[in-house]
Structure formats: C-alpha cells, structure tokens
Amino acid sequence: MVFDTPGAVAGIVPEARRLIGVARQAYAGQARPGALLADCARRLDEPLRVALAGQLKAGKSTLLNALVGQDIAPTDATECTRLVTWYRHGATPRVTAYARDGARADVVVRRDRGADGLPGAHGLHFDLSALRWNAAGARSVEHLDVQWPSEELARTTIIDTPGISSLSQEVSARTSRLLTPTADPAGVALPSADAVVYLLRRLDAADVDFLETIGAGSGAVHRGSAVSGPLGAVGVVSRADEIGAGRIDALHSARDVASRFADELERTGLCQSVIPVAGLLAFAAATLRQREYAAFEALAAVPTEELTAALLSADRFARPDLRLPVPPELRAHLAARFGLFGIRLSVTLIRLGVRDSASLAAELTARSGLDELRTVLDVQFAQRAEELKAHSALTGLARVLTAFPGTAADSVLPRVRTLLADVHGFAELRLLGRLRSDDLPLPADDLTELHRLIGGSGVAPHLRLGLPADADLATQHGGALAAVRKWRSRAGHPLADQSTAAACLIAARSAEGLLDLLQEPPTTPFTRIRR
C-alpha cells in the first residue's frame, strides 16, 4: 500500500512507526544506530518543529515573540542570538544551556525595565556569563533549550537560529548544521526541523543559495537518497514596516515587494508562500499595555501637522524639548516598541474611532500581517503536521539504513524511499505554493475550487469540498465523486498545457482520496482540524 491520497494521511505515521520498529529490531545491541532510530520514533510523538531562519538581524526573535504572544526571546544583539535556541512547552519557565558533549547548566534570565516601569523593548536577556563551564574554559555552549508555558509551544516547537550572514563563520555554520545536517563522525545526522519560516529583508544570492541548500519543497527523494532539509518552507518579508520608511502605507509597499519575492521563490519551488509581516508591530500589539494605549490616545489629540513633524525620526520624537502630551521617556519607549509606523498607525486608528486597548491591539495585529501568516502556517504546516513529522522521521530512517548497511533492515529501505516519493500530501503542498504566484489558465471559480480541494482552506473533507460542517456523508461523497470526474476531465483536456494538466491531476487524486476516506466512519483522524 502506497500512501498517495489524502485519505491515507492517518496511515502515514503508523506505517513510519512500523518501519522504524523493524529497523530497531535489526539494530538491537548497536548503540549508535539504536539511539538515532529512537530519535526518529520520538519525532512522531512530539510537536511539529518549525525553524526560523534568515540573514543577520532579519527579525527572527521578534517574530517568534509575536507568534507566541509573549516576550520569551531576546531581541537585542546579545550572545544568545548567536546560538541555536529551542523553544518548547514547559510547566514553568526554564532556560538550559547544553554543551556538545551533553553537559547542561541552567541559564539566568534577566528582565530590564523601561520608561515608567514598563518593560523595555529589549528587556529580556539570557545571562551566559555565570555558567561554570564557560568560566573554566572547559566547554562552550552548543545550544540553548527554553521551556515556557505557552499554548502555542504546546502545539509547535520553534527553533530560533543565528543569521546565515553572520561575520563569524562558526555562528552561521550552526544554522547550516541544523537545517542541512552533514555527516557526523559516525556517518549520519538526522534532520532537526520539519518546516522552515525563512525571513527576508531583501532577496539576494545568499538567501537563494541557502534555500537551495536546504532543499525546501524540493520533493522527497533527490539523487537516490532522502533530501537533507525540511519539506516545507514559507517566506516572510520581515520588518515590512521599514520598507516604506515607516509611512502609514508601508505594508502596501511591503506587499508589492513580497509579490516580487514570491515570483522568484515560488516559481523555483524554494518557498511555498511569501507573506509580508511587521514583526515589531505584531509583537507590540500582542503585548499592548493600557498605559501605551493612553499615550496613543493623548497623541491623537495633537494637531496632525505638529505630530507629523515630530515623527520625522525616532530621535526627534523622543526629544525633551517637544511639547507633546506624553513624557519623552515614554515616547522613546513607544518608538522602540512600535516603531514610527506603529505609532502613526495607532494614532490614525484612534482618530478613526478605536476606543479601547483591546480593539487597538486587534486592529494592529490584523494590519501587521501576523493573522495572514498564522493562516498560512496553519494550512501548510499545522494541519499537515503528521505528514511533515512522518517525512522527517522517514528521512532520518533512510539515512540510518544507508549509513549502517548489512542488516535485515536493508529490505526496508526501498519501502521508505517509495513512501517519501509518493505521499500525495507533499504534492499538494508544492501546488499550494505555486497557486499563489502562477496564473493557471483556468476560470477564477475553478482556481478557487482547486485551491480548496487540495487543502488550501483546511484539510477536513467538508472544507475541501466547500460544504457546511454538518453536511451528511452522502452529500460529501457525492461532492467528492463529482470533483473526481471534473478534475480528471480537466487533466485530460487536449488543450491543457503540461503544468495545468499536472495541477488538475493532483486535484483529482485529492478528490479520489476523499472518496476513499468517506467510506470510513466520520471520526477518522483526517477529519480533525489541527489548530
């Protein structure tokens, strides 16, 4: 049985678990392959792992804070930003430093206070200076592990990585080792991330080269072996508010830039989507305080020309000689937390009728691009978490089998490679990315249906078929059968070009998978939407 339809999604993880189990029995008594296979097995039961990557100062830590909705990642240029840092769910906050030899030590977390007792824009610090092994010079920190009570982290482990363009080659190499693991002394290393969010401030050769290296979205098998990098990649035009120099229309400019980036990256398969996000504004909105709202409300009463002149630069806005109804220290705090774009937008929204801090936070979040990014991450990553985790586990299994040949597990390798090559959900992910940039010669209604059928609005059957959630089994089955006939016909049309025919065939296979699924009880795991 090859898992090549969406109806078989629920079977990918059990089959991966079975194959790993067969391999573990074959390697019983061998410490190194046994440990690697145990890690492959654990991957299937852990939350999805998503890595944040990009060049130096692309805004990775700020975006992480925005996604989690808490100030848990330092955003200044301290030593911790030079390390790979894992953010996981934990009952209580705890930061642990790990050395390459496995030694560990607790890290002190410090918070600075800003204006009038408010948290500073860079208020969180991980103090590595107190580590005994650093002082002794015997060990150096290999990575940090942050455990934090967070609903978001309970669903997704987020890995913050150093900039790929760091002045230190060793710092940049840490990210490469994580996302493109090279052979270790034993001859094998496992993939660490299931998917990547890649942050761009511009698109240059370093970005393209790195995305090509990790092989994001390039399929499951390359030159006879499992690909080295994560399967899914979403691009983010980070610090989008800076593209328009902080003007009120900055995000419109950023969206144009994102569209150009998307044309380049999605056409080549390097990213499935490219979204503009003002990370600083998104995080500030998620943690907006009443005192900050009151300051914006006071600034909204200042004549427009006077406030416009004050907002020519952050330094000018914080000058103590400006007669504004907000103290200079608090103005400096607002500039650091929200940026000039955030200040202008907040004042404008209050002038247009926003009357409380909760409403302002919601409006700022929506305009920051974070909501759109969350939707894309939910559809392309969260709702396909089982497939992505299975892909990572099977890729790791293939590497172990290749690196340690000569056991009964050798017979498993062809099956593993077949699964990696034929899982239909991987083809859906690649097509979803193409649809954001390619103009297939299909009517608009057909493009909307195609996007929905391959999971663009969610993976539950009723969402794929555009039916209400309470649609009965017979109605859903009828809709799936009609979709199979329609998209098979589109794929075989004599005037359809190769790209369009391939897209229609993917849609037809998705509909066929729904037909298989809808023969089963409606409580199958595939019907659950991962949130």
What pLDDT digit, counting tens, does each position of 12-36 carry?
889 999 999 999 999 998 999 999 9
> Which contiguous run of DSSP H or E holds residue 275?
strand 273-276
Asked whether residue 103 is domain-assigned, the answer is yes
For residue 225, report the phi and psi dihedrals to the nearest 5 degrees: -135, 170
Q: Check whether 468 has a pLDDT greater than 90.
A: yes
What pLDDT digit, counting tens, does each position of 381-400 carry?
888 898 889 988 998 999 99
Residue type, 507: A
Share of residues in the chain with pLDDT > 90 (%): 45
Q: How far apart are the C-alpha atoms of 507 and 451, rounded to whole Å?
A: 9
Q: Which of 133, 151, 172, 162 is nearest to 61 (CA)?
A: 162
Q: Of 368, 396, 419, which marks where a domain is finished?
A: 368
What pLDDT sits at residue 186? 47
What pLDDT digit, counting tens, does each position of 172-195 carry?
777 877 777 654 444 577 888 998
Q: Which of 52, 119, 156 is nearest to 286 (CA)?
A: 119
What pLDDT sits at residue 4? 40
Residue 269 vs residue 194, higher pLDDT = 194
Cβ contacts of 485 within 8 Å, gap of 6 or more: none
What pLDDT sits at residue 19? 96
pTM: 0.79
Asked whether residue 265 is domain-assigned, the answer is no
Number of domains in the chain: 3
Asked whether residue 426 is domain-assigned, the answer is no
> Is the CA virtual torsion 271, 274, 277, 283 positive or negative?
negative
Q: Of 128, 162, 196, which marks where a domain is finished?
A: 162
Q: How far apart are the C-alpha atoms of 369 and 33, rounded to whole Å?
A: 44
Q: Check whether 147 has a pLDDT greater than 90.
A: yes
Work out whether strand 104-106 and strand 94-99 pair parallel, antiparallel, or are unpaired.
antiparallel
Q: Are 292 and 337 in contact (CB under 8 A)?
A: yes
- Which residue range is the domain that position 356 belongs to? 282-368
Q: Check whether 227 has a pLDDT greater than 60.
A: no
Q: Of 162, 184, 215, which marks where a domain is finished?
A: 162
What pLDDT digit, counting tens, does each position of 398-431 carry?
999 999 999 999 999 999 988 887 778 777 877 8
Asked whether residue 500 is domain-assigned, the answer is yes
> Is the CA virtual torsion 493, 498, 500, 504 positive or negative?
positive
| 3-state helix, strand and coil shares in percent for the chain, rounded to the nearest 5 | 55, 15, 35
Asked whether residue 449 is domain-assigned, the answer is yes
Tokens at residue 51, please?
A: 């890595």
Task: Read off the pLDDT of each residue in 129-155 and give the average, rounded to a whole number.
Answer: 78
Least confident of 2-16, 61-75, 144-158: 2-16
Residue type, 298: A
Asked whether residue 363 is domain-assigned, the answer is yes
Length of the chain: 531
For residue 107, report the phi and psi dihedrals to the nearest 5 degrees: -110, 135
What pLDDT sits at residue 437? 55
Q: How far apart are the C-alpha atoms of 451 and 93, rounded to whole Å?
A: 41
Q: Check whether 137 has a pLDDT greater than 70.
A: no
Asked whether residue 522 is domain-assigned, the answer is yes
